[in-house]
Amino acid sequence: MSLLEGKAISVSVFGESHGAGIGAVAEGLPAGEPVDLSRMQALMARRAPGGALATARREADAVRVLSGLKDGVTTGAPLAVWIENGDTRSRDYEAFRRVPRPSHADYPALLRYGQATDLRGGGHFSGRLTAPLTAIGGICLELLERRGVTVGAHAFAVADVQDAPVDSEQLTPAQLMEVRGRELPVFDEAAGARMREEILAAKADGDSVGGVLELFALGLPGGLGDPMFAGVENRLAAALFGIPAVRGVEFGDGFSAARLRGSAHNDAYCQKGGRIGTKTNHHGGVIGGITTGEPLVVRMAVKPTPSIAMAQRTLDMATGEETVLSIQGRHDPCIALRAVPVMEAVAAIVLLDLMQHQQRETNGR
Amino acid sequence: MSLLEGKAISVSVFGESHGAGIGAVAEGLPAGEPVDLSRMQALMARRAPGGALATARREADAVRVLSGLKDGVTTGAPLAVWIENGDTRSRDYEAFRRVPRPSHADYPALLRYGQATDLRGGGHFSGRLTAPLTAIGGICLELLERRGVTVGAHAFAVADVQDAPVDSEQLTPAQLMEVRGRELPVFDEAAGARMREEILAAKADGDSVGGVLELFALGLPGGLGDPMFAGVENRLAAALFGIPAVRGVEFGDGFSAARLRGSAHNDAYCQKGGRIGTKTNHHGGVIGGITTGEPLVVRMAVKPTPSIAMAQRTLDMATGEETVLSIQGRHDPCIALRAVPVMEAVAAIVLLDLMQHQQRETNGR
Amino acid sequence: MSLLEGKAISVSVFGESHGAGIGAVAEGLPAGEPVDLSRMQALMARRAPGGALATARREADAVRVLSGLKDGVTTGAPLAVWIENGDTRSRDYEAFRRVPRPSHADYPALLRYGQATDLRGGGHFSGRLTAPLTAIGGICLELLERRGVTVGAHAFAVADVQDAPVDSEQLTPAQLMEVRGRELPVFDEAAGARMREEILAAKADGDSVGGVLELFALGLPGGLGDPMFAGVENRLAAALFGIPAVRGVEFGDGFSAARLRGSAHNDAYCQKGGRIGTKTNHHGGVIGGITTGEPLVVRMAVKPTPSIAMAQRTLDMATGEETVLSIQGRHDPCIALRAVPVMEAVAAIVLLDLMQHQQRETNGR
Amino acid sequence: MSLLEGKAISVSVFGESHGAGIGAVAEGLPAGEPVDLSRMQALMARRAPGGALATARREADAVRVLSGLKDGVTTGAPLAVWIENGDTRSRDYEAFRRVPRPSHADYPALLRYGQATDLRGGGHFSGRLTAPLTAIGGICLELLERRGVTVGAHAFAVADVQDAPVDSEQLTPAQLMEVRGRELPVFDEAAGARMREEILAAKADGDSVGGVLELFALGLPGGLGDPMFAGVENRLAAALFGIPAVRGVEFGDGFSAARLRGSAHNDAYCQKGGRIGTKTNHHGGVIGGITTGEPLVVRMAVKPTPSIAMAQRTLDMATGEETVLSIQGRHDPCIALRAVPVMEAVAAIVLLDLMQHQQRETNGR
């Protein structure tokens, strides 16, 4: 299902990479909210494909809002967006029914839907489907900022290069917004330069690299979420794994927490200005499914782009013989970088949903 | 919400650590399935607390099946289980309303539910709530085996000690069942001995350690799952983060995939006996939300037990002054180990749900 | 599925008529709400079976609260109730696998679940399953009253006898509470006497009669609900059809509205004290899925009890021959009357859910 | 929410009457199903507005399929439809913010969404939103026929005029398809003529009339559905109340059942060709939430069109004074007739969903 169901907000994504277009319907956005479409478009531009890593990005997809906005204000009715596909060349894709691309969804899609599945450009499995999701998330980011919440992600790592470690307790919204706006969103520009080298080296080899993205949400109130299966971690993880190529999701210290002793991992409570907080943030702002009021910290691992120009082995399913495949066309040498605004968008949808739900609960007491 | 909602099977968990008891209701289990309650009870025994790591485990909680079984066979009606709590001493817990335990849910629960929340023994946030979940999962494990699927987890790492790496492509159901039955479930017993040392050393210090668990599911058919938000990864992650203390979930190579190049991470398709498979399994049996037929590989990170006897700093919220807390009582020095059968149980619920759903889709074509 | 899913509150019902017992789990009740269990028990007593229509009712089922309450106050965690079954004689029910009772769920249950289905006393299809639902609804009724909403139902009709028509615009909470507390809940006691005669006449014949119940909710705020598929009508209808033997649900003028002209059916808006209201209430308090602030009016039709002592024809599925069946035992000659508190309970669950959801939306703007 | 959620198929409806257009996204349709768009368009034509009752109908809305179809076959990905709105004149609608139309959603929408709500042409509450729903339902009708199920509705009553009573046990698919194709879909053409007179008389008076629609589904397998809250009645009722102006839903004898004795209402089981059936069909093909294999019979009451040319009283909310409103423009004098294909479409979505779910359950045993 391509439906991201929240407690208050649900988003249904549709379309195919090489079909008529791609779109999404968001239900449950609050009514009466002004929406600045130029901000949504700016987020879309960050997701848009660029030629090389360093080249100027091309125009972002033009988003048409089909419903739910009147005079630039949400009406409370479902808000639908639509992006018409431009010219696409699909002639090569039918070959993948016979010779599936390694680590692509071609083969699982055939297992799941049979020959009726649309493999052109990846069909409904394409990373292109994140475009309408980014459009909806762009609106949610604006609504979150109106509620005092700033969301931003950076390239935590690309291949073996790590960005500078970030102390989430010291991070300001201004710093976060500055970094997320960079072409290569890192805190340490020297690390960014090395990442660039890694990417270009892989590209030169007809290969690709993976990366890890880290997202912060600042200003989230404490007490958001639910125990067990509807906690902040459950909902964010379920949504983030909806972004193609994501292989792992972790909160706070994440997998590193497993190596620590309790005395090193526990965060001491303390007074922080007028509120209660913690001195450190190993917990990443969420314990037992519920926010503490500290910065939310979540990371996701993005695998290397599976489409590579290098020759690789795979199977010709018609003959049953192994064969060699070299995937032509322009492919991102590091798909992780394009996922940065998508991660922000998806997290924004989930966090706005949690906040809308939270208001009910708090006020319901 | 303590409701794990599947497409076919939903599980609602209820109860508190120091209340009358704990239970769960499972809807949508198929009718006509014989259930061997001694196998469920054996899984419960693996979850039951033991004194030291090495001591004989105590009796598992006795599970009463309240509904949904007749003459040992599922009727198709909701199946409910109930575990009556024994004697509990709750007198100390009220103090945690004032002096919240670091990295526990005490403080978030107060933010979320106000003073009405039940903190005794962790209340509804307690790890004890995984007992009824394990009971339901035990039934699902049996139904999965009847369908040819074997699920088992091991301690991938405890503190800095790693178990031997497992080649999922070579793993047999018999090996998996043997390892998962061990008191300390590892493939490499020497690594297990070092894990034991780490745990006992931490315990001696009044401290605790974390760990990473790795689960395999063998025999899963290909084509299970859905794209985007209802894929195998989304559903398993959403469920696994429902286990207390889990901080990260990853599939296949997971976070390590981010460090690889595409040419190293891509898995070549090939003939495997009568079916199509892959030569390697970096993808962990699932691509784009859908299973490929290769072994499913998922890991989760478990933080060190937050309850430690060592003195630690925290806040007295009544006075606003920092104070020192030392948590008395018997606590698991490595909660990760007790989570092994829980991980199997939760994964079994999700995988059985996927298989029930899958049958519809396949037959619906 | 025996799961009533709301936006904020979900209720999972389990158990069988002749199994160990019956129960329910309610998720999402607000925290910090005092609950008077004697009021819940009083609603249960109204549902409890009596011998003849006129005889003193027997003891209601004793409800044990398993979780979610601490010191008589909701904790925010799932609230579970359990009613242990007493002695039951199930020996006769196996015959119904072979000779299904007309208009009972025996035959559909066999189609749905196969021979594994539990037919004893109706199994999970029994009207007895409304007991735990009534317990949960009893709590919701109390919470609704605390929020200024009074819910009550009366016997609108039994067989061909109608209660006095009620002008919902003039109805006071005190009147409603008085009527709903009567043994035979009618506004016109003379009509009640004639209903009693009809019921006793049917009983004397070994037969049964049906009835129509009408429920009012006074004090509901306007603006509750959603357009299209999650409106007040959709949610109430979906829930009320969960009560066994319900065959129709209508709002306001309901089916009678179809016979009116628009000029007669439209309700003129007007000032009403400090608020805007309507002069008449043909719309029953809800238009387009959303409440107007006028009294909510909903009716449901309950079929005559299918279990009758009179001989009736049916099929012996083993021989394929028609046969004659006479159902022994004590059966309600008018099951509709026992459904009155159940209707109130189910409506209360739905309306409390709507109000919890509503608070979010209003405050979210 | 404008989301119709099924077990296998979900439909999200979006758009406004006088916005850019209207659409819907259907998730979970089976893959590999050929779709004849001319049949969908024919159903759309039956829903399209005509001038007078008797005049030739205007062109139906042109449906553009945005996704989910490739070469006329479903791909398994979400199927989205879009209908661009033509020229609309919205200048008059702003007045309804101040002077709400009686029995319209204007006032409840203002309560729910505040001034941000879009009232132009009824906005998202407009009957026009049933057009994309009809498009999706048209596809489902075709898929149902491929599975041996025929769905059709007729005008059971308009104002006080009733169509001939239909014996569902004798009804053939051919008869049903013939009647549903008529401009005024009735079995008794003389009754149809009197209905026409009633409608034209109301129209001449600047007034409107209501009606009752009756739908049959022939060929449904027995054993579809679930007990309690996910039964056939619950799901159909929840969906049918999503059609604007519906005020009641009943199954089988419905409200009439309440007037019968059990001995008259019970349906005797018998042999029917090779299967087990019932001699009569008071139960309307469903007992306890589960189909019996007899024809499904469901009726819904549609209120008289609230928009009438006749002067009617309402409130000027700006001045607080009562005023007189006469609604200009072309309005259907009997909206019930246009709801006939919509009822078929909505029922088809629910029934196809049930059948997809059923296959899983049956095969899962």
Model pLDDT for residues A34-50, shown as the tens digit of each residue: 999 999 999 999 998 76
List chain B residues with pLDDT less than 70: 50-59, 87-91, 359-365
How many CB pairs below 8 A link B and C?
159
pLDDT higher than threshold 80 for residue A227: yes
Quote the CA–CA distance of A3 and A76 in Å, as a whole number: 19
List, as one string, the DSSP characters of A257-321: GGGSBHHHH---EEEETTEEEESS-TTTTEETTEE-SSPEEEEEEEPPPS--SS-EEEEETTTTE
Residues whose CB is less than 8 angstroms from the CB of residue B45 and which lie 6 or more positions away in sequence, other chains included: B57, B59, B60
What's the burial of B145, exposed, middle or buried (CB within 10 Å: 0-12/13-18/19+)? middle
> Is the minimum CB–CB distance between A330 and chain C shorter than 8 Å?
no
Q: What is the pLDDT of residue D88?
A: 66
Which residues from D are below 8 Å from A25, CB to CB?
12, 14, 23, 25
Q: What is the pLDDT of residue D260?
A: 97
Model pLDDT for residues C228-246, shown as the tens digit of each residue: 999 999 999 999 999 999 9
Tokens for B105? 């849910």
Tokens for B158? 């405890």
Whether A359 sits inside 8 A of C363 (CB atoms) is yes
| Of A93, A74, A68, the residue nearest A31 (C-alpha) | A74
Q: What is the pLDDT of residue B48?
A: 84
Q: What is the pLDDT of residue D56?
A: 42
Whether D31 sits inside 8 A of A124 (CB atoms) is no
Number of neighbouring beta carbons within 10 Å of residue B276: 19
Q: Is the dihedral of CA C282, C288, C293, C296 positive or negative?
A: positive
Q: What is the pLDDT of residue B59?
A: 59
pLDDT band at A88 (very low <50, low <70, confident <90, very high): low
Residue with the larger pLDDT of the pair B92 and C58? B92
Between C3, C27, C77, which is nearest B118 by CB? C77
> Is the minimum CB–CB distance between B244 and chain A shorter than 8 Å?
yes
The full length of chain D comes to 365
Nearest-CA distance from A176 to chain B in Å? 23
Q: What is the pLDDT of residue D89?
A: 66
Pairing of strands D211-218, D269-272: unpaired
Whether C16 sits inside 8 A of B80 (CB atoms) is no
Q: Report the SS3 class of residue B254.
A: helix
Q: What is the pLDDT of residue C183?
A: 83
Quote the CA–CA distance of A304 and C233 in Å, as a whole number: 50
DSSP state letter for D39: H
Terminal-to-terminal C-alpha distance of chain A: 35
Residues whose CB is less than 8 angstroms from the CB of residue D329 and which lie 6 or more positions away in sequence, other chains included: D92, D307
For the CA atoms of A300, A301, A307, A313, what is the dihedral angle to 10 degrees?
-150
> Is the minimum CB–CB distance between C73 and chain B shorter than 8 Å?
yes
> Is the minimum CB–CB distance between C80 and chain B shorter than 8 Å?
yes
Quote the CA–CA distance of B362 and D356 in Å, as a whole number: 10
Strands (E), chain A: 3-5, 10-15, 21-27, 64-67, 69-70, 73-74, 79-84, 150-158, 161-162, 211-218, 246-251, 269-272, 275-278, 286-287, 290-291, 296-302, 312-316, 321-325
Nearest-CA distance from B2 to chain A in Å? 5
Tokens for C333? 């000659």
Q: What is the pLDDT of residue A57?
A: 44
Q: Which of A12, A29, A360 to mutate to test the interface with C (most CBs of C within 10 A)?
A: A360
Quote the CA–CA distance of C220 and C239 in Å, as a whole number: 18
The whole-number average pLDDT for the span A271-279 is 92
Residue with the larger pLDDT of the pair A67 and D87? A67
Amino acid at B151: V
Which residues from C are below 8 Å from A361, CB to CB?
8, 30, 356, 360
Burial letters for C37-74: b for 16+ Cβ neighbours within 10 Å, e otherwise? beebbebbebbbeeeebeeeeeebbebebbbbbbeebb
Which residues from D are below 8 Å from A3, CB to CB?
10, 12, 27
Quote the CA–CA distance of B24 and B342 in Å, as a whole number: 14
List chain D residues with pLDDT less than 70: 50-59, 87-91, 359-365
pLDDT > 90 in chain C, percent: 84
Q: What is the pLDDT of residue B95?
A: 86
Helices C130-146/C37-47 angle, 10° precision? 130
What's the burial of C179, exposed, middle or buried (CB within 10 Å: 0-12/13-18/19+)? buried
> Is the minimum CB–CB distance between D318 and chain C shorter than 8 Å?
no
Q: What is the pLDDT of residue B57?
A: 44
Helices B232-240/A232-240 angle, 10° precision? 170
Residues whose CB is less than 8 angstroms from the CB of residue A97 and which lie 6 or more positions away in sequence, other chains included: A106, A110, A115, A119, A317
Q: How many CA atoms lie within 13 A of C43 on its CB side?
A: 31
> Is the minimum CB–CB distance between C180 and chain B shorter than 8 Å?
no
Q: What is the pLDDT of residue D57?
A: 44
Contact of A21 with A15, CB cutoff 8 Å:
yes
Tokens for C129? 């399953």
Q: What is the pLDDT of residue B91?
A: 66
| Of B58, B242, B234, the residue nearest B137 (C-alpha) | B242
List, as one string, the DSSP characters of D146-194: HTT-EEEEEEEEETTEEPPP--TTT--HHHHHHHHTSSS--S-HHHHHH
Backbone angles phi, psi at C108, to 5 degrees: -60, -35
> Is the minimum CB–CB distance between C124 and chain B shorter than 8 Å?
yes
Whether D227 sits inside 8 A of B364 (CB atoms) is no
Tokens for B269? 């398709």
Q: What is the pLDDT of residue C89?
A: 66
Between B230, B239, B292, which is nearest A107 by CB? B292
pLDDT higher than threshold 50 for residue C56: no
For the CA atoms of B215, B218, B224, B230, what is the dihedral angle to 10 degrees?
0
Query: What is each CA distance from A147 to A151, A218, A239, A365, B111, in whole angstroms?
Result: 12, 11, 22, 21, 19
pLDDT band at C273 (very low <50, low <70, confident <90, very high): confident
CA-derived radius of gyration, chain C: 21
Q: What is the pLDDT of residue D101?
A: 94
* Single pTM value for the model: 0.96
| Of C20, C138, C130, C86, the residue nearest B80 (C-alpha) | C20
Q: What is the pLDDT of residue B360?
A: 47
The alpha-helical segments, DSSP class H, found in chain B are: 37-47, 106-113, 130-146, 173-180, 189-204, 232-240, 262-265, 335-364
Quote the CA–CA distance of C228 and C222 in Å, as a whole number: 17
Contact of A299 with A153, CB cutoff 8 Å:
no
Q: What is the pLDDT of residue B4?
A: 92
